[in-house]
Every structure is written in structure tokens, then in C-alpha cells.
Amino acid sequence: MRSGGERGGSAGRGAAHGGKGLFSNIWLWRAVTGVLSAAVILILCIQFVNPSPAKGSAVCPPLDLCPSGWLYFQRKCYYLSEDEATWNSSQSYCSSHNASLLVIENQQELTFIMKITKQDPWIGLSKRDEEFCWVNGEALHNELFEVKGSGSCAYLESKGVSASGCFLTRKWVCSLSINSAQ
């Protein structure tokens, strides 16, 4: 008889708690939620402190990686001039800083530069024998963009890349490979 009473007592306790059993223990669910939240926060902190960089992902480089006043993006440093100069003078300025006028290597770099530049700066692209070549000697691959205009020196504009006379003055963009920066 005693065991029946115990069953009745257990059932009575369950009924006293709303008859929901395990789900009625709100403190238990709060504890589980707290532990899971702490685990997620810990994982995110570990990922932030020790990221595993994917190709093309933005990982913060050491602060002294680029020269002072230069920007970092995908293993390159960039200088956006405040002054204006001819294409040749702009390239000379970049060269004096162990850099060159910007050589755009891929669509991600083009998109980045288009977002951060404002006033149609010179880039490292000019005509040689009726063909556009980069300052590093490589020919322009037209799948990246088409150069509009009839000039010999290229600059960025809001709709892409154009060419004008090299003697005109514009702002410019220098780029420096991260391997050269150190």
C-alpha cells in the first residue's frame, strides 16, 4: 500500500506544479539557456581573437603594416592623394614611396577603390603603342573593365575607367604590395 501512496504522492507533486513535469522547471531552462549563451559567446570570442582567414576575407593586419596615412585592403596598401598632379608626376610621387600608381588586379579591388575614391584619380594605366598597359608592364585584360575616352592616361570615374591627356592634373592613387611595404 505504501508504494501506491508514493505513486500517488509523486503524481500529486506533479499536479501541484501544473502537471507539466520537466517543462515546468523554468529555472532549469534558464540555466540551460545561460550555459548555451555563454558557450556561443566564448566561441565567438575565440574566433575573433584567432580567426582563420578565408580567401579574400577582411582580417585586420598589424597597425604598422602600411605607411602612415595609407589604407590596407587584401594585402596591399593604398595612398589617396589630396593634391593634384599630371600622370607622370603622380607616378613619380608613388615611385618615391616604393609604390606605383594603382594596378587593379581583380574585380574586388576595383569595387573597393571605386567606393573609397571621389574625384577621378589617376591609376597606373597608360597607352603604349595603341594598347593600354599597367605600370608593371602587363597589358590590360579587357574582361576587368573597358577604358572609355581617347586619351593616353587612365583615371577612375564613377562609371568605370576613362582616359584623358596625361598632362592634365588630377588626384591619384598609389598602391604598394604588402611584401614591399616591410
Q: Where in the chain is the domain with CATH 3.10.100.10?
A: 71-181
**pLDDT above 90: percentage of residues in the chain:** 41
Other C-beta atoms closer than 10 Å to the C-beta of 85 total 17
Sign (positive or negative) of CA dihedral 62, 68, 69, 73: negative
- The more confident residue out of 148 and 178 is 148
State the Cα–Cα distance between residues 104 and 147, nearest whole angstrom: 13
How far is it, in rounded angstroms, from Cα 162 to Cα 93? 21
**3-class secondary structure, 141:** coil
101 with 95: CB under 8 angstroms?
no
CATH node for 71-181: 3.10.100.10
User: What does residue 80 show for φ and ψ, rounded to 5 degrees?
Assistant: -105, 115
Across the chain, what does the average pLDDT equal? 79
pLDDT for residue 113 is more than 80:
yes
Q: What is the pLDDT of residue 133?
A: 94
Q: Pairing between strand 100-101 and 76-80? A: unpaired
Can you tell me whether residue 152 is helix, strand or coil? coil
| 168 pLDDT tier (thresholds 50, 70, 90) | very high
Q: Which residue has the higher pLDDT, 42 or 5?
A: 42
Residue 84 has a pLDDT of: 96
Q: Which of 13, 28, 175, 10 minimizes the C-alpha distance to 93?
A: 175
